[in-house]
Protein backbone atom coordinates (compact mmCIF):
# COMPACT_ATOMS: atom_id res chain seq x y z
CA UNK A 1 0.00 0.00 0.00
CA UNK A 2 2.75 2.49 0.57
CA UNK A 3 3.18 5.24 -2.00
CA UNK A 4 5.76 8.02 -1.95
CA UNK A 5 4.57 9.84 1.22
CA UNK A 6 4.36 6.58 3.16
CA UNK A 7 7.81 5.37 2.05
CA UNK A 8 9.25 8.83 2.74
CA UNK A 9 7.76 8.64 6.25
CA UNK A 10 9.47 5.31 6.87
CA UNK A 11 12.72 6.66 5.45
CA UNK A 12 12.74 9.64 7.82
CA UNK A 13 11.83 7.49 10.82
CA UNK A 14 14.45 4.87 9.97
CA UNK A 15 17.12 7.57 9.88
CA UNK A 16 16.24 8.46 13.45
CA UNK A 17 16.15 4.85 14.57
CA UNK A 18 18.80 2.73 12.86
CA UNK A 19 21.23 5.11 11.15
CA UNK A 20 24.74 4.14 12.21
CA UNK A 21 23.61 1.00 14.02
CA UNK A 22 25.28 -2.35 13.44
CA UNK A 23 23.22 -5.22 12.07
CA UNK A 24 23.44 -8.22 14.35
CA UNK A 25 21.44 -10.53 12.13
CA UNK A 26 19.10 -10.62 9.14
CA UNK A 27 16.54 -13.40 9.54
CA UNK A 28 14.51 -14.38 6.48
CA UNK A 29 11.20 -15.91 7.53
CA UNK A 30 9.64 -16.29 4.06
CA UNK A 31 11.75 -18.24 1.57
CA UNK A 32 9.91 -16.49 -1.28
CA UNK A 33 12.23 -13.57 -0.49
CA UNK A 34 15.30 -15.53 -1.53
CA UNK A 35 18.54 -15.68 0.36
CA UNK A 36 20.40 -12.37 0.59
CA UNK A 37 24.02 -12.90 1.59
CA UNK A 38 25.03 -12.42 5.19
CA UNK A 39 24.97 -8.77 6.24
CA UNK A 40 25.65 -9.31 9.93
CA UNK A 41 28.30 -6.99 11.35
CA UNK A 42 27.69 -4.23 8.79
CA UNK A 43 26.68 -0.70 9.78
CA UNK A 44 23.73 1.21 8.37
CA UNK A 45 25.57 3.99 6.53
CA UNK A 46 22.63 5.78 5.01
CA UNK A 47 18.96 5.37 4.24
CA UNK A 48 17.27 6.84 1.22
CA UNK A 49 14.15 6.58 -0.84
CA UNK A 50 14.01 6.16 -4.59
CA UNK A 51 10.42 6.28 -5.74
CA UNK A 52 8.73 3.61 -3.63
CA UNK A 53 12.01 1.77 -2.95
CA UNK A 54 13.75 2.06 0.38
CA UNK A 55 17.53 1.82 0.08
CA UNK A 56 19.59 0.87 3.11
CA UNK A 57 23.26 1.39 2.28
CA UNK A 58 25.61 -0.86 4.19
CA UNK A 59 28.96 -0.22 2.52
CA UNK A 60 30.45 0.75 -0.83
CA UNK A 61 29.06 -2.26 -2.62
CA UNK A 62 26.16 -3.52 -0.56
CA UNK A 63 22.74 -1.87 -0.43
CA UNK A 64 19.50 -3.47 0.69
CA UNK A 65 16.64 -2.59 -1.68
CA UNK A 66 13.25 -2.99 -0.04
CA UNK A 67 9.92 -2.58 -1.83
CA UNK A 68 6.75 -3.04 0.23
CA UNK A 69 4.39 -3.42 -2.77
CA UNK A 70 0.73 -3.80 -1.76
CA UNK A 71 0.59 -4.98 1.82
CA UNK A 72 4.09 -4.62 3.24
CA UNK A 73 4.73 -2.83 6.53
CA UNK A 74 7.92 -2.05 8.38
CA UNK A 75 7.73 -1.98 12.17
CA UNK A 76 10.24 -1.09 14.83
CA UNK A 77 10.07 -3.36 17.86
CA UNK A 78 12.29 -1.72 20.40
CA UNK A 79 11.79 -4.23 23.17
CA UNK A 80 8.60 -6.18 22.43
CA UNK A 81 8.95 -9.94 22.20
CA UNK A 82 7.41 -12.24 19.63
CA UNK A 83 6.52 -11.69 16.01
CA UNK A 84 3.33 -10.30 14.47
CA UNK A 85 1.37 -12.52 12.07
CA UNK A 86 2.78 -12.53 8.52
CA UNK A 87 6.26 -11.44 9.55
CA UNK A 88 8.55 -11.98 6.54
CA UNK A 89 11.98 -10.89 7.74
CA UNK A 90 13.64 -9.38 10.78
CA UNK A 91 16.75 -7.23 11.03
CA UNK A 92 18.12 -7.43 14.54
CA UNK A 93 20.03 -4.49 16.07
CA UNK A 94 21.51 -4.08 19.55
CA UNK A 95 18.67 -1.74 20.54
CA UNK A 96 15.72 -3.49 18.88
CA UNK A 97 14.35 -5.23 15.82
CA UNK A 98 13.07 -4.06 12.44
CA UNK A 99 10.27 -6.36 11.28
CA UNK A 100 8.69 -6.60 7.85
CA UNK A 101 5.06 -7.72 7.97
CA UNK A 102 3.44 -8.54 4.63
CA UNK A 103 0.23 -10.60 4.41
CA UNK A 104 0.13 -10.77 0.61
CA UNK A 105 3.82 -11.60 0.28
CA UNK A 106 4.46 -9.24 -2.65
CA UNK A 107 7.22 -7.29 -0.91
CA UNK A 108 10.76 -7.76 -2.19
CA UNK A 109 14.12 -7.51 -0.45
CA UNK A 110 17.33 -7.72 -2.42
CA UNK A 111 20.98 -6.82 -2.12
CA UNK A 112 21.64 -4.46 -5.07
CA UNK A 113 18.42 -5.15 -6.88
CA UNK A 114 19.07 -5.17 -10.62
CA UNK A 115 15.39 -4.47 -11.22
CA UNK A 116 15.50 -1.17 -9.35
CA UNK A 117 15.82 1.32 -12.18
CA UNK A 118 14.14 4.19 -10.38
CA UNK A 119 17.48 5.89 -9.66
CA UNK A 120 17.46 8.38 -12.53
CA UNK A 121 13.69 8.92 -12.64
CA UNK A 122 12.53 12.35 -11.41
CA UNK A 123 11.32 12.39 -7.81
CA UNK A 124 8.07 14.36 -7.50
CA UNK A 125 8.75 15.34 -3.89
CA UNK A 126 11.91 17.17 -4.93
CA UNK A 127 10.72 18.48 -8.26
CA UNK A 128 7.81 17.66 -10.50
CA UNK A 129 8.61 19.31 -13.79
CA UNK A 130 5.64 20.14 -16.00
CA UNK A 131 7.82 20.24 -19.10
CA UNK A 132 9.27 16.79 -18.43
CA UNK A 133 5.79 15.39 -17.93
CA UNK A 134 4.57 17.01 -21.13
CA UNK A 135 7.50 15.69 -23.17
CA UNK A 136 7.18 12.18 -21.74
CA UNK A 137 3.47 12.22 -22.60
CA UNK A 138 4.04 13.14 -26.25
CA UNK A 139 2.05 10.75 -28.42
CA UNK A 140 0.86 8.65 -25.47
CA UNK A 141 -2.61 7.20 -25.88
CA UNK A 142 -2.91 5.81 -22.34
CA UNK A 143 -5.23 7.58 -19.89
CA UNK A 144 -3.38 10.29 -17.95
CA UNK A 145 -4.19 8.38 -14.75
CA UNK A 146 -2.25 5.33 -15.99
CA UNK A 147 0.54 7.59 -17.23
CA UNK A 148 1.02 9.09 -13.76
CA UNK A 149 1.23 5.60 -12.26
CA UNK A 150 4.04 4.65 -14.64
CA UNK A 151 7.14 4.52 -12.43
CA UNK A 152 9.42 5.02 -15.40
CA UNK A 153 7.94 8.49 -15.90
CA UNK A 154 7.74 9.72 -12.30
CA UNK A 155 8.71 7.48 -9.41
CA UNK A 156 6.48 7.29 -6.37
CA UNK A 157 2.94 8.21 -7.40
CA UNK A 158 0.40 5.50 -6.60
CA UNK A 159 -3.32 5.01 -6.95
CA UNK A 160 -4.51 7.30 -4.14
CA UNK A 161 -2.33 10.27 -5.00
CA UNK A 162 -2.88 9.94 -8.75
CA UNK A 163 -6.64 10.30 -8.12
CA UNK A 164 -6.13 13.21 -5.73
CA UNK A 165 -3.74 15.05 -8.06
CA UNK A 166 -6.07 14.82 -11.05
CA UNK A 167 -8.99 16.03 -8.99
CA UNK A 168 -7.01 18.97 -7.62
CA UNK A 169 -5.92 19.81 -11.17
CA UNK A 170 -9.48 19.41 -12.53
CA UNK A 171 -8.30 16.93 -15.16
CA UNK A 172 -10.43 13.94 -16.15
CA UNK A 173 -8.52 10.70 -15.47
CA UNK A 174 -9.64 9.19 -18.80
CA UNK A 175 -7.96 11.93 -20.85
CA UNK A 176 -5.22 10.54 -23.09
CA UNK A 177 -1.86 11.65 -21.70
CA UNK A 178 -0.72 13.05 -25.04
CA UNK A 179 -3.75 15.32 -25.29
CA UNK A 180 -3.10 17.45 -22.21
CA UNK A 181 -2.30 21.12 -22.73
CA UNK A 182 0.84 22.72 -21.22
CA UNK A 183 -1.31 24.62 -18.71
CA UNK A 184 -2.83 21.34 -17.54
CA UNK A 185 0.60 19.78 -16.98
CA UNK A 186 1.66 22.88 -15.04
CA UNK A 187 -1.40 22.51 -12.85
CA UNK A 188 -0.77 18.80 -12.28
CA UNK A 189 2.86 19.49 -11.39
CA UNK A 190 1.94 22.25 -8.97
CA UNK A 191 -0.84 20.43 -7.13
CA UNK A 192 1.18 17.22 -7.23
CA UNK A 193 4.07 18.72 -5.28
CA UNK A 194 1.68 20.27 -2.79
CA UNK A 195 -0.31 17.09 -2.22
CA UNK A 196 2.72 14.83 -1.85
CA UNK A 197 4.39 17.23 0.59
CA UNK A 198 1.25 17.66 2.62
CA UNK A 199 0.65 13.90 2.73
CA UNK A 200 4.25 13.37 3.86
CA UNK A 201 3.78 15.93 6.65
CA UNK A 202 0.70 13.94 7.67
CA UNK A 203 2.80 10.73 7.69
CA UNK A 204 0.74 9.16 4.91
CA UNK A 205 -2.81 7.94 4.36
CA UNK A 206 -4.20 5.32 6.75
CA UNK A 207 -7.38 4.27 4.94
CA UNK A 208 -6.98 0.70 6.09
CA UNK A 209 -3.59 -0.95 6.51
CA UNK A 210 -0.94 1.73 6.47
CA UNK A 211 0.97 2.31 9.68
CA UNK A 212 4.28 4.08 10.17
CA UNK A 213 7.46 2.59 11.66
CA UNK A 214 6.01 2.82 15.16
CA UNK A 215 2.60 1.41 14.27
CA UNK A 216 0.90 4.83 14.20
CA UNK A 217 -1.71 5.85 11.65
CA UNK A 218 -1.08 8.71 9.25
CA UNK A 219 -3.54 11.61 8.96
CA UNK A 220 -3.86 12.35 5.25
CA UNK A 221 -7.07 10.28 5.00
CA UNK A 222 -8.67 13.34 6.65
CA UNK A 223 -7.72 15.42 3.61
CA UNK A 224 -8.71 13.10 0.75
CA UNK A 225 -11.05 14.78 -1.73
CA UNK A 226 -12.00 11.85 -3.98
CA UNK A 227 -10.24 8.58 -3.18
CA UNK A 228 -12.64 6.13 -1.52
CA UNK A 229 -15.45 8.73 -1.60
CA UNK A 230 -17.80 7.23 -4.18
CA UNK A 231 -21.30 8.70 -3.89
CA UNK A 232 -20.22 11.48 -1.52
CA UNK A 233 -20.45 15.10 -2.62
CA UNK A 234 -17.46 16.69 -4.29
CA UNK A 235 -15.90 19.26 -1.95
CA UNK A 236 -15.52 21.67 -4.86
CA UNK A 237 -18.81 21.46 -6.73
CA UNK A 238 -21.15 19.22 -4.74
CA UNK A 239 -21.73 16.62 -7.45
CA UNK A 240 -21.43 12.97 -6.47
CA UNK A 241 -17.95 11.44 -6.70
CA UNK A 242 -17.87 8.56 -9.17
CA UNK A 243 -15.83 5.38 -9.25
CA UNK A 244 -14.59 3.71 -12.41
CA UNK A 245 -11.77 1.32 -13.29
CA UNK A 246 -8.78 2.47 -15.32
CA UNK A 247 -6.16 -0.14 -16.06
CA UNK A 248 -7.85 -2.39 -13.54
CA UNK A 249 -7.39 0.14 -10.72
CA UNK A 250 -10.22 1.77 -8.83
CA UNK A 251 -10.37 5.40 -9.94
CA UNK A 252 -12.37 8.10 -8.16
CA UNK A 253 -13.21 11.43 -9.73
CA UNK A 254 -15.83 14.13 -10.02
CA UNK A 255 -17.39 13.91 -13.46
CA UNK A 256 -18.62 17.49 -13.09
CA UNK A 257 -15.52 19.47 -12.20
CA UNK A 258 -13.08 17.07 -13.85
CA UNK A 259 -15.02 17.28 -17.06
CA UNK A 260 -12.28 18.12 -19.50
CA UNK A 261 -12.76 17.42 -23.18
CA UNK A 262 -12.06 13.90 -24.44
CA UNK A 263 -9.38 12.89 -26.92
Kindly tell me which residue out of 8, 44, 55, 158 binds DNA, with binding defined by CB under 7 A. 158
Q: In what order do the strands lie in the sheet with 108-111?
A: 46-50, 53-57, 63-67, 108-111
Indicate the residue among 45 and 140 with the shorter CB distance to DNA. 140
Which is the catalytic residue, given 3, 8, 164, 184?
3
Indicate the residue among 95 and 115 with the shorter CB distance to DNA. 115
CA angle 224, 49, 27 (to 5 degrees): 110
Answer yes or no: 261 catalytic. no
160 sits near DNA (criterion: CB under 7 A): yes
Which is the catalytic residue, given 6, 8, 52, 229?
52
Answer yes or no: 233 catalytic. no
Find the shortest distance in angstroms from Cβ 231 to DNA.
14
Q: Which of residues 167-226 bind DNA (CB under 7 A)?
A: 177, 204-210
For β-strands 53-57 and 96-101, DSSP reports them as: unpaired
70 sits near DNA (criterion: CB under 7 A): yes
Kindly tell me which residue out of 9, 63, 146, 260 binds DNA, with binding defined by CB under 7 A. 146
Answer yes or no: 203 catalytic. no
Q: Which of residues 244-263 bind DNA (CB under 7 A)?
A: 245, 247-250
Can you give the binding site for DNA, defined by CB under 7 A? Answer: 1-3, 6, 32, 51-52, 67, 69-71, 86, 103-106, 115, 140-143, 146, 149, 151, 158-160, 177, 204-210, 245, 247-250
Q: Annotated active-site positions, please?
A: 2-3, 52, 249
Amino acid sequence: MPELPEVETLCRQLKQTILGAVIEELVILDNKLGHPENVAGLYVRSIERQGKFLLIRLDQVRTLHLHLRMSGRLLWHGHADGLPAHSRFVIRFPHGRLICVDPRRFATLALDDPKDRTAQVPDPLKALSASKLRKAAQGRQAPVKSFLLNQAVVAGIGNIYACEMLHAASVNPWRRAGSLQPAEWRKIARVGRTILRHATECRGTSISDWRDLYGEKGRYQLHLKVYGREGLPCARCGEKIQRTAIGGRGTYYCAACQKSKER
